[in-house]
């Protein structure tokens, strides 16, 4: 083979290799786009309920009603619940908040407040009934 023919042969081989690489990359890109299209949806294709699941709302401490329980602040974001809790006497409100926000049992609350276990259970139950009545009357 002459040096010139050999050089042309190498150029054609390289040219062929580059074309094959470009075709392979184009096929890979096409497959990737097709797979992505099967798994993904545009926002316009989503229903209102699916869009609401994607939404995030900022919550600020100023948007909550704060109650002091055991030296800590408990934030309640629901206005009607906060008003109903405010209507309860302080000792009853504290029992309800300790029970639901600190996941304390009646025995733990009783030990903390130095009350009988049955007293805490009775106050919690009667407070919940009163809260229910207050919140139903607001509706």
pLDDT of residue 3: 67
- Residue range(s) defining the domain that contains residue 27: 3-41
What is the rounded distance in angstroms from the CA atom of residue 7 to the CA atom of residue 11? 6
In a domain, 91, yes or no: yes
Question: Are 67 and 134 part of one and the same domain?
Answer: yes
| Token output for 71 | 């030296």
Count of domains observed in the chain:
2
- Asked if residue 113 is part of any domain, the answer here is yes
Question: According to the per-residue pLDDT averaged within each range, which of 30-34, 38-42, 57-61, 134-138 is highest?
Answer: 30-34
Rounded CA-CA distance 98/80 in Å is: 19
pLDDT in tens, 78-112: 888 888 888 999 899 999 999 988 889 999 999 99
**C-alpha span between 6 and 60 (Å, rounded):** 75
Give the CATH number, domain containing residue 133.
1.10.10.10
Extract the tokens encoding 4.
């010139």
Q: What is the CA radius of gyration of the chain?
A: 35
Using 50, 70 and 90 to split pLDDT, how confident is the model at 40?
confident
Residue with tokens 């150029």: 11
**What is the residue-averaged pLDDT of the chain?**
87
What pLDDT does residue 19 have?
96
Model pLDDT, residue 48: 85
pLDDT in the model for residue 139: 63
**In the numeric block, which tokens belong to residue 128?**
């919940």
Q: What is the pLDDT of residue 46?
A: 82
Q: How many CA atoms lie within 13 A of 122 on its CB side?
A: 5
């Amino acid at each position: 083979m002459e040096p010139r023919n050999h050089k042309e042969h190498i150029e054609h081989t390289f040219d062929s290799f580059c074309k094959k690489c470009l075709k392979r990359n184009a096929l890979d890109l096409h497959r990737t786009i097709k797979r992505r299209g099967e798994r993904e949806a545009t926002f316009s294709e989503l229903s209102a309920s699916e869009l609401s699941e994607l939404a995030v709302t900022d919550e600020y401490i100023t948007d909550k009603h704060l109650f002091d329980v055991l030296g800590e602040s408990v934030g309640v974001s629901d206005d009607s619940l906060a008003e109903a809790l405010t209507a309860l006497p302080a000792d009853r409100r504290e029992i309800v908040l300790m029970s639901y926000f600190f996941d304390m049992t009646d025995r733990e609350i009783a030990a903390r407040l130095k009350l009988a276990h049955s007293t805490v259970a009775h106050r919690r139950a009667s407070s919940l009934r009163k809260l229910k009545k207050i919140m139903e009357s607001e509706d």
